[in-house]
Amino acid sequence: MTDPALLGPADVAAAAAVLEGIAVRTPVEDLAAGFAVKREDLQPVGAFKLRGAFHAASRLDAATRAAGLVTHSSGNHGRALAWVARRLGVPCTVVVPDDAVAAKVDAMASLGARLVPVPADDRESAAAEEVARTGGAFVPPYDHPHVIAGQGTVGAEILADRPDVEQVLVPVGGGGLISGIAAALRGSGVRVLGVEPELAGDAAASKRAGERVRFPRAQVAATAADGLRATVLGELTWPHVRDLVDDVVTVDEEAIADATRHLHACGVPCEASGAVATAGYRALGDADRARRTVAVVSGGNVDPAWLARVLAVGSGMPTSG
Query: 112-124 pLDDT, tens per residue?
Result: 999 999 998 899 9
More confident site: 232 or 320: 232
For 101, half-sphere exposure in the C-beta direction (CA atoms, 13 angstrom radius) is: 25
Q: Of these residues, 38, 49, 104, 207, which one is catalytic?
A: 49
Inter-residue contact 90 to 62 (CB < 8 Å): no
Inter-residue contact 272 to 263 (CB < 8 Å): no
Q: Is 74 a catalytic residue?
A: yes
Give the number of other Cβ atoms within 10 Å of residue 237's Cβ. Answer: 29
Give the number of other Cβ atoms within 10 Å of residue 79's Cβ. Answer: 29
Which whole number is the average pLDDT over 21-36?
A: 97
Tens digit of each residue's pLDDT (9 = 90 or more) over 142-176: 999 999 999 999 999 999 999 999 999 999 999 99
Q: Which of 255, 23, 293, 264 has the alpha carbon at shortest distance from 162?
A: 293
Task: Please report the pLDDT score of residue 99 as a whole number.
Answer: 86
Inter-residue contact 2 to 239 (CB < 8 Å): no
- Which residues, 6 or more positions from 59, have their beta carbon under 8 angstroms from its beta carbon? 18, 146
Task: Please report the pLDDT score of residue 218 as a whole number.
Answer: 94
User: Can you give the pTM of this predicted structure?
Assistant: 0.95
- Residue 68 above 70 pLDDT? yes
Task: Please report the pLDDT score of residue 315 as a whole number.
Answer: 53
Task: Please report the pLDDT score of residue 3 as a whole number.
Answer: 72
Tens digit of each residue's pLDDT (9 = 90 or more) over 299-315: 999 999 999 999 998 65
Q: Of these residues, 38, 58, 73, 74, which one is catalytic?
A: 74
- Residue 38 above 80 pLDDT? yes
Task: Please report the pLDDT score of residue 320 as a whole number.
Answer: 37
Task: Please report the pLDDT score of residue 313 as a whole number.
Answer: 86
